[in-house]
Structure 1
């Protein structure tokens, strides 16, 4: 279990209750800034854990059991449910559009009325979205016309394929090869394209790819 898993679970719990991270803290009777990004890292740059008391208050305020919270920590509730043929409509845009303004809010959740929809296997993350690949920059892993499902709630670990948006508005699909408290390293899916290294401050959000049509 990592610090990021716990914080991501709190963010997912907030989203499931229609709240921001600060709204969740307020609902639990905590300081509204308790779950802010600035509180997740110490002044020395080391990752910080939320207190067990704050987690207990959040679970009580949202009537969430510890088992359900554990599912959020592991990402089980964010991934494909495997319950058979159940399907839902997921927001869809072309990958090239993802870097444009108006499609995502500050948390990386899809917003606005310009999204199309696609029927896909059931996925429990309410903020999951789909991107249609265009071009050859992600071959041979992802090809022109492939569709990927991306889950903001799914925990991200080394080796996962992710969609990343930078503070400059660039959106890219890469493989996470390393993440420290200050930097991430990303490998291009197409070996003909370069890999990247970013300060965490240069990343707006990073979401895990949980399914593709390939």
Structure 2
């Protein structure tokens, strides 16, 4: 279990409930800065882990079981419980190569039409969430060929998030958001063998956050 996986899971839990990490902390009765990125390392640069008390409070605040957080950390859905199990939800499953073609997304980056497969997953708060199937090796070792990632157009994006980006030329990629200003977007490649990318804002059709992976 890695430090970054724990924090990514908390971010994803917040997004599932339409909240920012600060909003999740506030909803749980914690200091709004509890989950800020600056709080995730010490002044000496060592990883700082969320306390069990803060984790328990956020799970209680959103009504989520511990198993859900475990799923978000590991990427492996837990076995469904016999009672009070969330009904699975069918969402669009689009191949990464398909995503660059016309007819799959509207101008806001929401999936449209219906020329796709579907996948069943536990309930996700964003009604516009969809799944992308990774192809190729350009995103290894984080995402491998055949992995499925869940993308939430409604989830807020910030530095350090793993995101899916589509350019106006129809290129679709999964990267890490390094910087986003009023004029440019800078992205880091997940595979160190590939260079990072930088775009003018008007070269980007949409950018959406990856909130879950099947790995």
Q: Normalization by structure 1: what TM-score?
A: 0.62
Render the CA deviation track for 1:116-164: whole Å, top value 9, x for unaligned: 1000121010100000111111100000110000000000010000000
Could you tell me how far apart the structure 2 residues matched to 1:116 and 1:134 are? 16
What's the CA shift for 1:180?
1.4
Corresponding residue for 2:199?
Answer: 198
Could you tell me how far apart the structure 2 residues matched to 1:167 and 1:173 are? 15
The verdict on how the C-alpha distance between 1:124 and 1:81 changes in structure 2, with shifts beyond 3 A counting, is: farther
- 1:144 has 2:90 as partner: no
Corresponding residue for 1:99?
Answer: 100
Corresponding residue for 2:135?
Answer: 134
Question: Do 1:81 and 1:124's aligned partners in 2 also have CA atoms closer than 8 Å?
Answer: no
- Give 1:162-173 correspondences, 5 Å limit: 162-173=163-174
- 4+ residue runs of structure 1 moved beyond 6 angstroms? none
Equivalent pairs, count: 142
The verdict on how the C-alpha distance between 1:141 and 1:81 changes in structure 2, with shifts beyond 3 A counting, is: farther
Give the 3-state SS of the residue equivalent to 1:164 in structure 2. Answer: strand
Corresponding residue for 1:120?
Answer: 121
Corresponding residue for 1:29?
Answer: none
The verdict on how the C-alpha distance between 1:81 and 1:104 changes in structure 2, with shifts beyond 3 A counting, is: farther
Render the CA deviation track for 1:61-93: whole Å, top value 9, x for unaligned: xxxxxxxxxx7462779xx98465432001001
Render the CA deviation track for 1:3-42: whole Å, top value 9, x for unaligned: xxxxxxxxxxxxxxxxxxxxxxxxxxxxxxxxxxxxxxxx
Could you tell me how far apart the structure 2 residues matched to 1:184 and 1:157 are? 11
The verdict on how the C-alpha distance between 1:147 and 1:183 changes in structure 2, with shifts beyond 3 A counting, is: same
- 1:74 has 2:12 as partner: no
Render the CA deviation track for 1:146-200: whole Å, top value 9, x for unaligned: 0000000000010000000111111110000111121110001111111011111
Corresponding residue for 1:177?
Answer: 178
Give the 3-state SS of the residue equivalent to 2:202 in structure 1. Answer: helix
Could you tell me how far apart the structure 2 residues matched to 1:194 and 1:173 are? 13
The verdict on how the C-alpha distance between 1:81 and 1:188 changes in structure 2, with shifts beyond 3 A counting, is: farther
Could you tell me how far apart the structure 1 residues matched to 2:19 and 2:200 are? 25
Give the 3-state SS of the residue equivalent to 2:120 in structure 1. Answer: strand
The verdict on how the C-alpha distance between 1:150 and 1:82 changes in structure 2, with shifts beyond 3 A counting, is: farther
